[in-house]
């Protein structure tokens, strides 16, 4: 089925006034993820997508052990009052106590030590009175307290990670705790990109009259690098049919995804669009959003194409709202990667008309123990400073009108825990 057939089945699909949620749905309905799998040493799996189920072959921890420094004993020995027990020896983490613990006896234990045979409860050292070879245990202990049981973290045979999960520091540690040296992951997505525009100069050359330095390739470099994809920066391409054709063909040859910026706006020389349409199957959308109204999506050869607008803020907004999710989906992620929308109070009034989704650049800050958000000032789609000053998007929903000071709004944070 062609892309157009696939997306035109969507309820409410209108390429000239496409809602953000519809555009997102249209994109996702067309994507198929990369299939190839490779084996990597655990450390190198950070940021990759797991391509196997992880099923523990051992229990973690492998033995019952003590969670505290103290005395391991038999709970049944304890009387309702103080109980005097004979101390037999010491067990340390990695140095178990060799003997057996009988009635009226106990063993001094340090955190992580294997529970000595016969014991079931640990009493912390702070409450115990030592009298030579004996210790006095006060009343009020609970059976099994301060013990970590074998398999309490990971149990033999019980799957713990599913294929499609992002490998983060916690997963690295968890896999290492099972003693697994190598794991299977999806191959990295390959993304090629270039900027289009006769007015663009590259860093290193002097600006001629009417030129601007190409910044889009740098924001794209940053955003793509953080997503952990392989990137191929194809530079600046003039608004010239021959050059553009070559660039598209080169990009689509090796990449899973091609991203371009510029050349899709209404006032733009039409041949960029014409060329995209000639080379593959490309849909041109006017999305009901701000910034980022014009956008192209389609296929050239095997590669998916995202033709983003030229304005620097529009590039970042359309990347985060559409391309990011598409790339994660294509990478084989099946865990929940949606960016959370948090509700916070707007410190000021914000202008907005119903009928489009807006992504205003906001600063989330704490005042009197409450989180509030304000906009960064000038919100033009060419004002990249607004992104640099911001730490979040203020997402003003399609139907929403103006926001009064003190009203709650939705925000998307730019950063999480790294």
Binding site residues, Mg ion, CB under 5 A: 197, 262-263, 310
Q: Judged by CB under 6 A, which of 33, 120, 199, 281 binds ligand AMP?
A: 199
Contacts of 270 (CB under 8 A, 6+ apart): none
Closer residue to Mg ion, CB minimum distance, 186 or 217 = 217
Report yes or no: 137 and 83 within 8 Å, Cβ to Cβ.
yes
199 binds, among ligand AMP, Mg ion, none (CB under 5 to 8 A by kind): ligand AMP
From the list 195-203, 285-293, 350-358, 394-402, the region that binds ligand AMP by CB under 6 A is 195-203
From 177, 215, 254, 412, residue interacting with ligand AMP (rule: CB under 6 A): 215
Nearest one of 33, 129, 35, 26 to 85, comparing CA atoms: 129
Sign of the Cα torsion 116, 117, 122, 128 reads negative
- The alpha carbon dihedral of 271, 272, 276, 279 has a sign of positive
Neighbours of 348 (CB within 10 A): 12
Give the integer Cα–Cα distance in Å for 167 and 415: 18
**Residue list 322-361, contact with ligand AMP (CB under 6 A):** none
Pair 409, 375: CB distance under 8 Å: no
As measured in angstroms, the least distance from the Cβ of 234 to Mg ion is 16
CA torsion angle 220 225 226 230 (round to 10): 120
Q: Provide, rounded to whole angstroms, the least separation between the CB of residue 268 and Mg ion.
A: 5
Interaction between residue 292 and ligand AMP (CB under 6 A): no
* Gap between the Cα atoms of 36 and 53, Å rounded: 16
- Are 106 and 117 within 8 A, CB to CB? no
Element (H, E) at 392: strand 392-396
Q: How far apart are CA 109 and CA 105, in angstroms?
A: 13
216 binds, among Mg ion, ligand AMP, none (CB under 5 to 8 A by kind): ligand AMP
CB of 220 to Mg ion, least distance (A): 16
Which of ligand AMP, Mg ion, none does residue 292 bind (CB under 5 to 8 Å by kind)? none
- Interface with ligand AMP includes 311 (CB under 6 A)? yes
Compute the distance between CA of residue 146 and CA of residue 125 in angstroms, rounded to an integer.
Answer: 12
- CB within 8 A of 235, min separation 6: which ones? 194, 195, 202, 217
Q: At what angle do helices 271-279 and 241-254 cross, to 10 degrees?
A: 40
Phi (first) and psi of residue 39, to 5 degrees = -100, 135
The item of Mg ion, ligand AMP, none sharing an interface with residue 389, based on CB under 5 to 8 Å by kind, is none
- In this structure, are residues 114 and 64 in contact, taking their beta carbons and an 8 Å threshold? yes
Does 281 bind ligand AMP (CB under 6 A)? Our answer is no
Q: Does 291 bind ligand AMP (CB under 6 A)?
A: no
Please pick, from the candidates 291, 298, 312, 332, the single residue that binds ligand AMP as defined by CB under 6 A.
312
Binding flag, residue 189, ligand AMP (CB under 6 A)? no
Q: Which of 12-20, 158-166, 308-316, 351-359 is the region at the interface with ligand AMP (rule: CB under 6 A)?
A: 308-316
309 binds, among ligand AMP, Mg ion, none (CB under 5 to 8 A by kind): ligand AMP
Query: Which residue stretch of 32-40, 306-314, 330-338, 400-408 sits at the interface with ligand AMP (rule: CB under 6 A)?
Result: 306-314
| Closest CB 17 distance from ligand AMP, rounded Å | 19
195 near ligand AMP, rule: CB under 6 A: yes
Q: Is 307 in the site for ligand AMP (CB under 6 A)?
A: no
Q: Tell me which stretch binds ligand AMP (CB under 6 A): 95-103, 159-167, 181-189, 212-220.
A: 212-220
- The single residue among 262, 291, 298, 362 that binds ligand AMP, judged by CB under 6 A, is 262
Residues in contact with ligand AMP, total (CB under 6 A)?
17
The binding site for ligand AMP (CB under 6 A) comprises 195, 197, 199-200, 212, 214-216, 261-263, 265, 268, 309-312
């Amino acid at each position: 089925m062609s892309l157009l057939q696939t997306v035109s089945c969507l309820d409410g699909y209108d390429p000239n006034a496409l809602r953000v949620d519809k555009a997102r749905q249209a994109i996702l309905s067309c994507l198929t993820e990369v299939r190839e799998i490779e084996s990597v040493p655990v450390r190198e799996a950070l940021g990759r997508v797991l391509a196997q189920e992880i099923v523990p072959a051992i229990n973690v921890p492998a033995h019952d052990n003590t969670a505290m420094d103290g005395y391991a004993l038999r709970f049944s020995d304890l009387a309702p009052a103080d109980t005097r027990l004979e101390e037999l020896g010491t067990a340390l983490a990695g140095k178990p106590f060799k003997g057996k613990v009988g009635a009226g006896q106990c063993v001094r234990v340090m955190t992580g030590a294997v529970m000595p045979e016969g014991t079931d409860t640990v009493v912390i050292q702070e409450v115990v009175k030592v009298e030579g070879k004996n210790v006095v245990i006060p009343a009020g202990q609970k059976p099994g307290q301060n013990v970590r049981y074998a398999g309490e973290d990971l149990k033999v045979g019980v799957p713990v990670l599913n294929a499609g999960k992002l490998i983060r520091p916690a997963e690295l540690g968890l896999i290492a705790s099972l003693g697994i040296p190598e794991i299977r992951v999806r191959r990295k997505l390959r993304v090629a990109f270039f900027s289009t525009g006769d007015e663009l100069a590259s860093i290193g050359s002097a600006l001629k009259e009417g030129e601007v330095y190409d910044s889009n390739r740098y924001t794209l470099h940053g955003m793509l690098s953080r997503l952990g994809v392989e990137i191929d920066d194809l530079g600046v391409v003039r608004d010239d049919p021959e050059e553009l054709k070559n660039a598209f063909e080169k990009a689509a040859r090796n990449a899973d995804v091609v991203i371009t910026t510029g050349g899709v706006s209404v006032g733009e020389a039409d041949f960029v669009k014409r060329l995209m349409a000639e080379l593959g199957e490309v849909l041109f959308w006017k999305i009901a959003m701000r910034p980022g109204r014009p956008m192209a999506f389609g296929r050239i050869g095997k590669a998916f194409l995202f033709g983003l607008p030229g304005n620097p803020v529009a590039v970042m907004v359309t990347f985060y709202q559409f391309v990011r999710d598409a790339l994660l989906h294509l990478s084989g992620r099946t865990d929940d990667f949606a960016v959370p929308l948090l509700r916070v109070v707007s410190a000021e009034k914000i202008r907005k008309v119903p009928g489009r989704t807006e992504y205003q650049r906001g600063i989330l800050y704490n005042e009197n123990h409450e989180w509030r958000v304000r906009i960064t000032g000038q919100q033009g789609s060419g004002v990249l400073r607004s992104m640099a000053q911001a730490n979040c998007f203020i997402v003003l929903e399609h139907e929403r009108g103006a926001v009064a000071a003190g009203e709650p709004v939705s925000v998307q944070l730019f950063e999480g825990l790294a």
